[in-house]
Chain A
Amino acid sequence: MAQDTNQQKVTTSQKDDKGPWGAVLVCGGGIAGIQASLDLSAAGFRVYLVEESPTIGGGMARLDKTFPTGDCATCIISPKLVECMRDLNIEVMTMADVTGLVGEAGRFHATVLKRPRSIDASKCTGCGDCWSACPVRNHPEIPDDFLPRLELNKEETTHLDELLYSYEGEPGAMMPVLREINETYHHLPRTILEQIASRWGVRLAEILRVASFYDQFKLQPVGRHIVEACDGTSCHSRGARAILERLQEIIGVQPGETDKAGRYTLRTVRCLGLCASSPAMRVNGRSFGRVNLDRVPEILEQFK
C-alpha cells in the first residue's frame, strides 16, 4: 500500500469534537461507491474506497446510455472518476479486498488485503505495453472450449454423427439439422444441442436463438401424439373455435400443453392449407378435413 502521505491534510476537524470525526471505508468502486465517497469527502470525512478490480468505474463505465433519461453514461461517470482520484480526502485502494472487520459502530477496524499490481503505479502512463510484455500475469482470459454437461448414449451419438456428417460443409445447415433432431425426438433435447454447439464451435446461445424462434421447434419434451387444431381464417369462419374447445375439454389442457399422461400435446397452427375442407385438424401429421364436434373424440381415439 502506498504511503499515506496525505496524513497531515486529513481534516483538522478530526481534532474538533463538534465536526465530523474519523474515517469511512467504502466497499466497491462503482458509480454508487464513487458518489458516496465524494459526498463523504465533501462532508469532511476521510474516505478509504476499496475496489477489488484493477480500476474504479464498475458497470456504468461499460454502458452506452443510462435509464430512463437515455443520457450518455460516460459523460456522467468520467468527471466523477477524475474527481475521485484527485480528491485528497479519498484514498482509492484498487485490487484490494476487505478481509476482516472488527469493532462496533464508530470504532471499526478493517483489514484490507491488497493484491500486487506488479508495476510502479506512480510511473504508470497507462500505455498498456506491460500487458503484452508480461510473461506470467495478466494474460487475457480465454475461456475454455465449451464442453457439454452430459454425454450422449451410443444410439444418440450415432444418430448425431450421421446427421452432422450428412450436412458437413453445407452452408446454412442449422435449420435442416435442427429439423431432423426435432423430428426424431419430437423436441430439441438440450444435451444434443450442447453437443452440436461443441462440435460446430458455435455458442449454444446461437443455436438456442434459432431454436426458440420457430414455432415447430420445441425445447421441452412433448406427448406421444401431437394434435394440431387449424386456426386459419377459413377454419375460423367455419367453427374452428368450437373444435379447439372440444379438444381442450377432452384432452384437458390448453393449447401448447401436454396432458399428464404424456399422451397428447395440443397445439394450434395457423393454417394447414386445407382451407376448402375446413375446419381441419391434424394428428401426428395425419390430416382430417371437414371435422365436426362429434368426430373429434373419434379422431382422438385412433391415437392411443
Chain B
Amino acid sequence: MNQHIHTAEDLKGVEAAGLTTLYPNRLKIVVGSASCGIAVGAGAVEAAAIAAIKELGLDAEVTRTGCIGFCSQEPLLDLVVPNGPRISYGNMTPEKTRSLLSAYASGKDLRLDMALAWFAGEEYILTGESHPYSPPENAVAGLPEWSSLAFYRSQKKVILRNCGSINPLSISEAIARGSYRGAMTALTGMTPEKVIEEMTKSGLRGRGGAAFPTGLKWKFASQASGETKYVVCNADEGEPGSYMDRTVLEGDPHAVLEGMLIGAFAIGAREGFIYVRSEYPLAIDTLQNAINDAEKAGLLGDDILSSGWSFRVKIRVGAGAYICGEETALLESIEGHAGEPRSRPPFPVTEGLWGKPTVVNNVKTWASVAPILTRGAGWYAAMGTERTKGTTVFSLEGAVKNAGLVEVPFGISLREMIYEIGGGVIGDRPLKALQAGGAARGCIPPSMLDLAIDMEDRPGESVMIGTGGIIALDDSACMADMARFLVGFFLDESCGKCVPCREGLRQLSGIMDRICGGSGSEADLVLLERLAGTMKAAAVCGLGGMAPGAVLATLQNFRPEFEKHIHDKSCPAGVCRCLAKK
C-alpha cells in the first residue's frame, strides 16, 4: 500500500484491502509466530504447512500472526475456511500439520479430534462491530467455542484486541479491525484539551505499575511551558515474569503507534521515542516495520490525516539494564548516557528528555488510548471496579495448567485467575505461593487468593498486581530460596549509584545466602528487617526502595519456613542443597 491516507474514505479503502487478506477466498493457514510460538517450534510448523500445500496442491495461503495469549498451547495453528469456521489447533508439530492438511485436502476433513476450539466470530473492539464465522451445520459439532474455554471465558481483550488475529506486518489488516480510527477522531474532530478530558473521564491509569492517572499526566505535560515536547513509550519490560508488552509489540504494533500519535497531539509533541529492551529482537523488527508502513501511509510524518499535525517516532533499543525501566533512567539512556535514575522532582512532565516536557507511558497504556476515543470514555470506565477502571493484561505462568496472557477487567479474584482461567496447578499439586506483581512484591500465600486484583493494596479487599506477572508456585518451591533468588536479581540489577541500594542489597543477599546455606541465625532476621527499613527510607529511586520488599513480604508470609532453615537446618521443599529435606 503506497498511497497516503488523508480522509475517512481513504481509511475505508485500506480497510477493504485488509478484509480481503483477513478473510481470503481460499483456505488460510495462520501460524502463531510471536517469540513464544517460535521458541517452541512455530517455524517448523510453518515450514511443514508450506511444504504440505505444495505437495498436496492445496489452494491455500500461510500467514503469521502474533500471540493470541494461550502460550501453553503453542505452537498454535489456525485454519480459516472460506465460508466456514476458524478452527484453532494447539501443540502443533510438523507431523500433525501434515496429517491435518492432507486430511483437509482429501475430503475437507477438519480433524476436529486434534482441534482446540472454533471461533464463532471476531470482535472488533475499536469499532464495536464483529465479523461472524458461519460454519455449515454440524461442521464443528462437539468442539468447544473459543470464548467458552475456561481460559477465555472471563477475558475482555482491549489492549490485546488484535494480537493473534492480524498479521502484525500488515497495516491494512490492523486498519480493517479499526486501527487509526481513534487518531482520525482526535486529530480531525477534537481539540487537544478535549482529548485529555476524555482520557481523564475514562479513568485510565498507567499500566506500567505505578498507576498514575494518564489524563492527569497528559494535562501536566500539555500545560508545561516550552515549544519542544516528547512522548515516550516505555517498552523496557525488564520485570521477570512479564511479557505482555512484548506480545503487544509483536502482535499489534500499530496499537502503540496510534496511542502515541493521539498522546502527542494532546500534549503538543512532534517527536516520540519507543524504548525497547534488546532481549526482544522480534518486537523491534515488527515495530520498525510498522513505523515504516505508517510513514508510507502518511499516518506518521507531516500533515497527518490532513490535520496539519506532524509527528515522528524513533525506536531506541536498550542494552540489558533492568533499571532502564524506571522512567528517568530510561530517559538518560535515550539521551545516550548510562541509565542511572534522576532525582525527582522535577518530574519528566516538566523536565524530561533533554530537559523538555515529556510523557512516558507504558506499552499497555498507549495501547489502551485508541479504544477510549473510538468507543468513548464511558464505555471504558464501565469496565473494572469503582476505583480502578478498564482492563489490563496479566501473564499467568509457573505451575498452572493454562499458562499465557490474560486480559481481564480489574476486580476479578486471584482464585478465579489461578483455578478457573489458569485451570489449577499442574499435576493438581497444592498451590504454595504466588509471586505476583513484580519481583519486589515477594511471595504471597494462598490465603490471599480471594482478594481482588487491583492497582493498589487494600487489606482484606484487594491486592496490587502492578506489573502483571503472576507466577504460581507449587509445593516444590522453597520460599527462602525464592527470597534469595529475588534479592539476587536486584543485586545484579542495582545500578550502584546510591549506597543504600548498592551495599544494602549485597548485605541482604549475604543474609539470604547464610539462611539458605544453613548458617543463618535469628539475629540475621533482625538485621534483615533493619536493613530493609534503611533501604526503603534512603535509596534514590524505586528500585532500591522496593527491592527489600521482595524478602520482607516473603518473610512476613512464610516466617515458619525461614525459621526452619535457621533452627532445624532443614529445607522442607528440598531446594536448598546444603540443608536436609524435612
Residues of A within 8 A of B (CB): 171-176, 178-179, 182, 209-210, 213-217, 231-234, 236-238, 269-278, 280, 285, 287-290
Instruction: Give the Cβ gap from A93 to chain B, nearest Cβ, in Å.
Output: 44
- Please give, as numbers and ranges, the residues of chain A lying within 8 Å of B279 by CB-CB distance: 269, 271-273
Complex Cα–Cα for A232 and B333 (A) = 23
> Which 4 pairs show the lowest CB-CB distances between chains A and B?
A174-B336, A215-B320, A276-B71, A214-B319
A236 nearest CB neighbor, chain B only: B485
B250 nearest CB neighbor, chain A only: A273
- Please give, as numbers and ranges, the residues of chain B lying within 8 Å of A173 by CB-CB distance: 336
B353 nearest CB neighbor, chain A only: A172
Complex Cα–Cα for A215 and B337 (A) = 14
Indicate the member of B237, B338, B404 with the most A CB atoms within 10 Å. Answer: B338
Given contacts A273-B246, A278-B397, contact A174 B337 (CB under 8 A): yes
- Please give, as numbers and ranges, the residues of chain B lying within 8 Å of A288 by CB-CB distance: 39
Given contacts A232-B241, A275-B243, A285-B281, contact A209 B39 (CB under 8 A): no
Complex Cα–Cα for A113 and B540 (A) = 54
Contact of A270 with B493 in the complex, beta carbons under 8 Å: yes
- Please give, as numbers and ranges, the residues of chain A lying within 8 Å of B354 by CB-CB distance: 171
- CB < 8 Å neighbour of A179 from B317, B405, B469: B317
- Please give, as numbers and ranges, the residues of chain B lying within 8 Å of A287 by CB-CB distance: 35, 38-39
Contact of B469 with A277 in the complex, beta carbons under 8 Å: no
Given contacts A172-B334, A233-B435, A233-B469, contact A276 B36 (CB under 8 A): yes
- Please give, as numbers and ranges, the residues of chain A lying within 8 Å of B477 by CB-CB distance: 237
- Please give, as numbers and ranges, the residues of chain B lying within 8 Å of A285 by CB-CB distance: 281
Instruction: Give the Cβ gap from A167 to chain B, nearest Cβ, in Å.
Output: 10
Contact of B322 with A178 in the complex, beta carbons under 8 Å: no
Contact of B495 with A213 in the complex, beta carbons under 8 Å: yes
Contact of A275 with B471 in the complex, beta carbons under 8 Å: yes
Contact of B338 with A209 in the complex, beta carbons under 8 Å: yes
Contact of A237 with B492 in the complex, beta carbons under 8 Å: no
- Please give, as numbers and ranges, the residues of chain B lying within 8 Å of A171 by CB-CB distance: 335-336, 354
Contact of B322 with A270 in the complex, beta carbons under 8 Å: yes
- CB < 8 Å neighbour of A214 from B238, B241, B321, B403: B321
Taking the complex as formed, is B280 at the interface, i.e. its CB lies under 8 A from any CB of chain A? yes
- Please give, as numbers and ranges, the residues of chain A lying within 8 Å of B334 by CB-CB distance: 172, 175
A179 nearest CB neighbor, chain B only: B317
B277 nearest CB neighbor, chain A only: A273
Complex Cα–Cα for A227 and B435 (A) = 27
Complex Cα–Cα for A285 and B469 (A) = 23
Given contacts A172-B334, A236-B485, A271-B239, contact A277 B320 (CB under 8 A): no
Contact of B39 with A289 in the complex, beta carbons under 8 Å: yes
- Please give, as numbers and ranges, the residues of chain B lying within 8 Å of A217 by CB-CB distance: 319-320
Instruction: Give the Cβ gap from A254 to chain B, nearest Cβ, in Å.
Output: 15
- Please give, as numbers and ranges, the residues of chain A lying within 8 Å of B404 by CB-CB distance: 276
Instruction: Give the Cβ gap from B517 to chain A, nearest Cβ, in Å.
Output: 15
- Please give, as numbers and ranges, the residues of chain B lying within 8 Å of A289 by CB-CB distance: 36, 39-40, 74
Instruction: Give the Cβ gap from A288 to chain B, nearest Cβ, in Å.
Output: 6
Contact of A237 with B471 in the complex, beta carbons under 8 Å: yes
Given contacts A213-B338, A273-B279, A278-B397, contact A179 B72 (CB under 8 A): no
Would you mind naming 8 contact pairs between A and B with Cβ atoms under 8 Å apart?
A178-B319, A210-B336, A233-B469, A272-B279, A275-B243, A276-B403, A276-B404, A276-B405
A234-B241, A275-B242, A290-B39 given; name 6 further pairs at CB < 8 Å: A214-B320, A216-B320, A237-B471, A237-B473, A277-B71, A278-B397
Contact of B39 with A179 in the complex, beta carbons under 8 Å: no
Complex Cα–Cα for A278 and B74 (A) = 12
Indicate the member of B35, B316, B334, B397 with the most A CB atoms within 10 Å. Answer: B397
Interface of chain B residues 469 through 515 with chain A (CB within 8 A): 469, 471, 473, 477, 482, 485-486, 489, 492-493, 495
Complex Cα–Cα for A36 and B155 (A) = 81
Q: Mark B68-87, 1 if CB is under 8 A from A, else 0.
A: 00011010000000000000
- Please give, as numbers and ranges, the residues of chain A lying within 8 Å of B147 by CB-CB distance: none
Indicate the member of B74, B318, B398 with the most A CB atoms within 10 Å. Answer: B398
Contact of A270 with B397 in the complex, beta carbons under 8 Å: no
Complex Cα–Cα for A57 and B34 (A) = 66
Indicate the member of A176, A179, A238 with the most B CB atoms within 10 Å. Answer: A238
Taking the complex as formed, is B240 at the interface, i.e. its CB lies under 8 A from any CB of chain A? yes
Given contacts A276-B403, A278-B397, A288-B39, contact A271 B320 (CB under 8 A): no
- Please give, as numbers and ranges, the residues of chain B lying within 8 Å of A176 by CB-CB distance: 316-317
Taking the complex as formed, is B399 at the interface, i.e. its CB lies under 8 A from any CB of chain A? yes
B405 nearest CB neighbor, chain A only: A276
B404 nearest CB neighbor, chain A only: A276
Instruction: Give the Cβ gap from B71 to chain A, nearest Cβ, in Å.
Output: 3
Interface of chain B residues 49 through 72 with chain A (CB within 8 A): 71-72
Complex Cα–Cα for A234 and B222 (A) = 40
Complex Cα–Cα for A88 and B339 (A) = 57
Complex Cα–Cα for A178 and B316 (A) = 12
Taking the complex as formed, is B278 at the interface, i.e. its CB lies under 8 A from any CB of chain A? yes
Given contacts A275-B243, A276-B404, A289-B36, contact A214 B493 (CB under 8 A): no
Indicate the member of A173, A215, A269 with the most B CB atoms within 10 Å. Answer: A215
Contact of B398 with A234 in the complex, beta carbons under 8 Å: yes
Complex Cα–Cα for A176 and B320 (A) = 13
- CB < 8 Å neighbour of A269 from B320, B338, B339: B320
- CB < 8 Å neighbour of A270 from B71, B238, B318, B396: B238
Complex Cα–Cα for A275 and B279 (A) = 13
- CB < 8 Å neighbour of B336 from A175, A216, A232, A278: A175
Complex Cα–Cα for A130 and B58 (A) = 93
Contact of A271 with B238 in the complex, beta carbons under 8 Å: yes
Complex Cα–Cα for A278 and B238 (A) = 16
Contact of A215 with B435 in the complex, beta carbons under 8 Å: no
- Please give, as numbers and ranges, the residues of chain B lying within 8 Å of A274 by CB-CB distance: 35-36, 39, 243
- Please give, as numbers and ranges, the residues of chain A lying within 8 Å of B493 by CB-CB distance: 270
